[in-house]
A and B are shown apart, each in its own frame.
Chain A
Amino acid sequence: MDRRIVITGLGVVSPAGVGAAALAEAVRAGRSAVGPITRFDASAYPCRVAGEVREFDPADGIRKDQTRYVRKMSKVMAIDIQLALAASNLAILDTGLPIGDPRTNEPVLPTVDHARFGMVFGTGFIPTELDDLAGPVQASRTDGRFSMSRWGTHGIPQMFPLWLLKYLPNMHSCHTGILWDAQGPSNSLTCSDAGGLLAVDEAVRILRRGAADRMLAGGAESRVNPTLLMRYCLLGRLATGGADPAAACRPFDLGRTGQVNAEGAAVLALEGLDTAQTRGARLYGEVLGTGCATTRAGIDACEADGRAVAAAVRGALQDAGAAPEDLGAVFAHGTAFEKQDQGEAAGLAAALGPAARTVPVTATKGVTGNMGAASGLADLAVALLLAKDGLVPPILNCERPDPRAGLAFVTGRPVPLAKDLVLATTHAIGGQTAAVVIRVTR
């Protein structure tokens, strides 16, 4: 029998605020956190809305020596990394593990075997902040043109020495590991939107093969910057219509016009049921099964039949030993990009079979926009918290659900969570697809 893996800590930083509860409450109430972009002047872009994280502090709530580390290093951490650190801190603090006393040189987590504490983080490739290159680029111009030769002599010397490290996608794991002395297995998955749920898949396998006692499964990404906003505009994937930012992202709605870029981080603290019970930990839920697959239609394509979504969902159900009718809710990826939504709906309908008519299907991106690698994990956190009230939240802005989907979309108001199993699924553009089945604790 495989080792049973439970979720004992949640950390979320999202456009709805700091903490998993802030997101769960916004999703339950159908309150949008999408707004006009304030981080930079987006007036030259066809899409000018995003899900921005307004205020957070990656040094909140941690020990003084940890705070010093974060304060010192934050200038060489892109916002993605800071978000990851903040959510990791929340998740670890939420586990209720005792924190060591720095005055007596206690380890930061004195009851934890640090060599057996690891993490897997979903991340994106982080584009450089434009300001970091502004001076060096100016210094490299001659006769009104950029000169590579001058970049070598005048540009490079103006860059700050740790520039590269500020943007490396493995730094989520590295800084979190340093801050919490986590010396166990450590990975950084660059699988776009699927990265967070794939991190759960891998973290669970690491725990089951006995290579660690506890793992963080995380995801963090920011797509609220001039470079990534441009990329998604050029790919024709962003919502453009409407004057009201709160109504911009409309998963599975007939009036959808595209996705909304966002930023955020979500982290689940995972451990064996055995160790969690021994220490009397609060159990949010249990990871029952994971599944993964891939789209083979091409890097920018959506599979119309949602074959990969169906395969990942079936795989997760099979791994969980569950049938579609055992599900109390499905949290779909639901980006609100039409072709992607349609393919996902087809895949879900195929995998759920006759149960598609009854299993409530919801999505949270109407509230947050697309938080990339954080998406599926944030959905699991929402599902776990709303399970306390026995609710499946509605899809914000899904006013005229696409009837071709053949799914039981939750619209308008929450519906009861009739069963304890919840599935979340996410997929990357043109590729990786993941699904996770959890049992929620009510």
Chain B
Amino acid sequence: MLERSWPAEGATRVPYWVYQDEAIYREEQARIFRGDTWNYLCLEAELPEPKSFVTTFVGDMPIVVTRDASGALHAWENRCAHRGALVCMQPRGTAERFSCIYHNWTYDHEGNLTNVAFRRGIAGKGGMPADAKPESQAPKKLRVSSINGLVFGTLSPKVPALETYIGTEVLARMKRVLKKPLKLLGAYTQVLPNNWKLYMDNVKDTYHASLLHLFFTRFRINRLTQGGGIFVSPDGAHHCTYTEMIEDKGDAYEKDGMRSAGTEKFSLEDPEVLDQVDEFGDRVSIQILSLFPGFVLHQIRNSLAARQVVPKGIDRTELHWTLFGFADDDEAMTRRRLLQANLVGPAGYISMEDGAATGFVQRGVAGSPERASVIEMGGSTIGSGDSRITETAVRGLWQTWRRYMQV
């Protein structure tokens, strides 16, 4: 169906048409987001009580996530069986039932159509025939599964269980962060001027972090000379990278004349914004974890967040950030997390550049759909290792993407 061929070099090249083609975008929605993948939906902490709900997305598809009266979680397509209008307009809240505003068709927390207004007409006049089957167009239901407070859903009947999908190595790194009940701190959206995959390959690109994000390097928060490593799931789909807390004393960046090293000694007037408590007891200062297709979990010092990647067209992506702490955080820890919120998000000392860099790629490749990225740091293999001067996880993303897209 897709008349595209991949460059002969294989894993070390990514052709630029992948970021530009409307047909590719539509196929991704069907084969990836609505296909055999698990997609992040929300935090359980956003559904604190029975009968609460939030709205979210799986790719383009609007979704309602609910907690029913018994406490069980459900997710279903936010589309009325009748004419396709959104059933749930509010971003969150509690509800006894869900009524479409257009013609008042009503749904329960599981997404079942429970009432069609005037289905039998009034006084024997009007209404639907007895054999009408409006339920045949009911909203699609998702399988729902959560891991330590994060809720995921899939439209696929055949994708394996969530924990199997993630795999043991990356799952263990995920549970390392999600070790206690979560407390919501807040949320916002960063709108990125680029294709969703440019953000995902940025997240998986451990090579860029200390070169693009000068704040990291100038303040010696993360240099590639620090201890750390990378895990890539056996199928290439998911990854996790980490950096140890030890302060770098080396001068590899200065010797190589790297722009990010700078020429003057640079220090913060008030370094409290960086004060980290080793809350996981393993001296890891940064852990970035991604799940295919569009989920990122970060621990940057004591800043913890879920990032949901929501595609909005070939050259526009929304990044939904949800920052959290733990339910038992004391006042000092909450204050620390709020100060460290300065590191991330649209105004983040170390996150603000990602949108700029990936937007530059979207613009830079505009005239060259037939050309390709060179992704050869660390060779052509895909796997775990102890060097972050590698693009192994980026190759893993593309291997996975090609498998789903059959390109």
Tell me if chain B binds chain A. Answer: no
